Amino acid sequence: MCKDERTKVIHRGGGAEAVYGLGFIGAAIYFISLAPTFWLGVLGFLKAIVWPAFLVFAALKSLGV
């Protein structure tokens, strides 16, 4: 019997990827819709990739840390 036939893979924690994916789509739509030029739209897309960093920064700033 091959090792692949005996092994069972269990994936857990799939909800985080879904939240990040939906957040990415929402952030991309938001940032790109505010962009008046193509290159600012590209910058908006790049911002959408790292939106959690903006969220954590704002949360820490509001907490005074």
Band (29; pLDDT cuts 50, 70, 90): very high
- The per-residue pLDDT of the chain, averaged, comes to 86
Please give the residue that has the higher pLDDT: either 6 or 50.
50
Query: How many angstroms separate the CA atoms of 44 and 21, rounded?
Result: 16
Query: How many angstroms separate the CA atoms of 48 and 36, rounded?
Result: 16
Rg (CA), the chain: 19
Stated pTM of the model: 0.64
Band (3; pLDDT cuts 50, 70, 90): low
